[in-house]
Amino acid sequence: MKLTRKELTELIKTKLNKAGLTEDHAEGVADVLVHADARGVHSHGAMRVEYYAERIAKGGINTSPVFKFEKTGPASAIYDGDNGVGHVVADLAMDEAIKMAKETGIAIVGVRRISHSGALSYFVEKAANENLIGISLCQSDPMVVPYGGAEPYYGTNPIAFAAPGNGDDKILFDMATTVQAWGKILHARSKNEPISDTWAVDGNGEPTTDPFAVNALLPIAGPKGYGLMMMVDVLSGILLGLPFGNKVSSMYEDLTEHRNLGQLHIVINPEYFTGLTNFKQSITNTMTDLNNIKPAPGFDQVSYPGQRSAAREKENEKNGIDIVDDVYNYLISDVIHNDAYDNKGAFAK
């Protein structure tokens, strides 16, 4: 089913509002989810709505949070989300980071006590649209075996980066520190499709292509991905005085409980370094240089990070955003949720 951005946003907003979010918070979540779907990252799009609706309805997300922003230094601050919906809190915290970076050259804002916040690319793109460099990283619940281990300890712990070039040019990069994000497994389950045998392992620690048999995910590039996910956990968990490692709350284990997750935004103003004009021109040159590199066999072109997603977003704006039938049917139904996620553990089906 293809929907316009406006249609999809309205469907998501209505469902989350009925689940218990205020209208403005529901719209804030919808904006982030539609951003993901428009760029083809369906694992972080509308397919997440039912999970959020169930958690909201069961009290696991504070629907009347009291947000608190506190500057802790010239370029540092904490944004406490009071376990409100993560998308909205992370967005407001990025707005504060942008303001600070414009004034001081750099801003580091820790985001404390939030729920799942969706695709990090949404937040760093806001910084790039303000002629700033954006970096965001966040912790997630343990579902990844550390390199050499047989039990999960860290989460998928994603990292996102964005930098502005000339005009509409921008580099936009968003990745999990696992071979694939857990949402990709969920997407494969929703379409009943197999996964690559390099993504995850089953209960015996053996590679699996069955998304329903996944018992743990694998870090990207072995020990390197393991080191990156540790870094993310330190900066978005330990640094903010929050639960860390295998103490991070599960996404699905108890939907009545607040999650107390952490996120960190870093925003840099190029004007304070090489100068904005020079920086943006160099980013545009980088993008052009990468496109002009001779492609390897089997490739038509070398793409810069975010290029294919940006092209997909433009195409979807024109032709509509494709949503799987099961998700669409849920969005248009009167059902708030089907009690499908609570007490399912980290690897909810």
Which residues are known catalytic residues?
Answer: 116
Q: How far lies 240's CA from each of 24, 157, 212, 319, in Å?
A: 27, 15, 34, 43
What angle (nearest 5°) sits at the alpha carbon of residue 318, between those of residues 316 and 320? 50
Nearest to 326 by CA among 194, 212, 190: 190
Q: Based on the number of CB atoms within 10 Å of its own CB, is 167 exposed (0-12), middle (13-18) or buried (19 or more)?
A: exposed
The β-bridge relationship of strands 76-84 and 216-217 is unpaired
Q: How far apart are CA 257 and CA 278, in angstroms?
A: 48
How many alpha carbons lie under 13 Å from residue 241 in its C-beta half-sphere?
A: 5
All residues at 6 or more sequence positions from 240 whose CB lies less than 8 Å from its CB, including other chains: 78, 110, 111, 112, 262, 264
Length of the chain: 349
Take residue 15 and report the two structure tokens written for it: 């469902």
Q: Based on the number of CB atoms within 10 Å of its own CB, is 4 exposed (0-12), middle (13-18) or buried (19 or more)?
A: middle
Take residue 8 and report the two structure tokens written for it: 């999809």
Helices (H), the chain: 5-19, 23-38, 49-57, 86-104, 121-129, 182-190, 223-236, 276-292, 307-319, 325-332
All residues at 6 or more sequence positions from 196 whose CB lies less than 8 Å from its CB, including other chains: 179, 180, 209
